């Protein structure tokens, strides 16, 4: 099984070299914990090896994402960025591809199919879906959501791309997608004595050894760094 680097210093050491290629992974965390930063850093790492990268932004507008990521010195021009926007009066979503002709509108129920189509058309090695929380909200009941998300992850595996999906989580509750993904990385904020500390935990990683300690994280002007040998508990 071939491993690929995430491109996040410290995290690759915690993962004994990286994540197994061709599988779907989940990065879950609260607001502003660095989910998007980690994901874009993963795609930038792929670009170093001339891999194709696709970023599906379901919540943030592509132009804002590009501006935010420029702060880390990352130019997203070589990444295929697709964003969606929903017309609130009709409930219809449209999928926009930056720099390309705008795509036809589609209904909520078709979102997953559209994602599949995009990946098949472009053939990227690395894919980000940010965030799965929006996809999950397409379903009224948990059973259907779980079945559909599992089906979607299986499709992603068959397409051969290594995918990171993000999920919003706040608090200790386990999300259903944590059971379905091949690996789960959690990002969170620890508050102690009025100080905020960003932290990372590898919750699971099928088929691989990994460091199972909570490690401190810093977001710097070059992106995310994990301190793989430091403890958050003093």
Quick check: helix, strand or coil at residue 69?
helix
**Least CB distance from residue 33 to ligand ATP, whole Å?**
4
Q: In whole angstroms, what is the distance from residue 165 CA to residue 149 CA?
A: 11
- Residue 34 touches ligand ATP, criterion: CB under 6 A: yes
Closest approach, Cβ 89 to ligand ATP, in A, equals 25
Beta bridge partners of 56: 82, 129
Among 91, 221, 233, 234, the residue binding ligand ATP under the rule CB under 6 A is: 221
Pick the piece of the chain touching Mg ion (CB under 5 A) from 4-12, 35-43, 49-57, 212-220: 35-43
Give CA–CA dist 118/24, Å, rounded: 16
Strands (E), the chain: 3-4, 19-20, 24-29, 53-57, 80-87, 92-97, 105-106, 126-130, 162-168, 183-192, 195-205, 215-220, 223-226
Q: DSSP state, 100?
A: S
User: Contact region for Mg ion (CB under 5 A) — 30-38, 98-106, 136-144, 194-202?
Assistant: 30-38
Choice from 36, 41, 125, 169 touching Mg ion (CB under 5 A):
36
* Residues binding ligand ATP: number (CB under 6 A): 12
Q: Does 33 bind ligand ATP (CB under 6 A)?
A: yes
Q: Which residues bind Mg ion (CB under 5 A)?
A: 35-36
């Amino acid at each position: 099984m071939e491993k690929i680097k995430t491109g996040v210093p410290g995290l690759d050491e915690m993962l004994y070299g990286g994540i197994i290629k061709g599988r779907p992974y989940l990065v879950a965390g609260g607001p502003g914990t660095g989910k998007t930063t980690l994901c874009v850093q993963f795609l930038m790492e792929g670009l170093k090896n001339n891999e194709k990268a696709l970023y599906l932004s379901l919540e943030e507008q592509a132009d804002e994402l590009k501006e935010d990521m420029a702060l880390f010195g990352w130019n997203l021009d070589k990444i295929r960025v697709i964003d969606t926007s929903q017309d609130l009066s009709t409930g219809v979503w449209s999928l926009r591809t930056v720099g390309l002709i705008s795509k036809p509108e589609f209904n909520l129920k078709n979102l997953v199919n559209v994602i599949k189509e995009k990946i098949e058309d472009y053939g990227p090695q690395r894919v980000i879906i940010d965030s799965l929380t929006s996809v999950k909200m397409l379903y009224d009941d948990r059973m259907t959501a779980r079945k559909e998300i599992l089906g979607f992850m299986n499709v992603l595996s068959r397409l051969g791309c290594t995918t990171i999906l993000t999920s919003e989580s706040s608090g200790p509750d386990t999300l259903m997608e944590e059971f379905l993904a091949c690996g789960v990385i959690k990002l969170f904020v620890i508050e102690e004595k009025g100080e905020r500390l960003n932290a990372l935990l590898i919750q699971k990683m099928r088929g691989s050894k990994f460091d199972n300690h909570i490690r401190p994280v810093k977001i710097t002007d070059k992106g995310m760094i994990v301190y793989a040998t430091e403890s958050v508990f003093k």
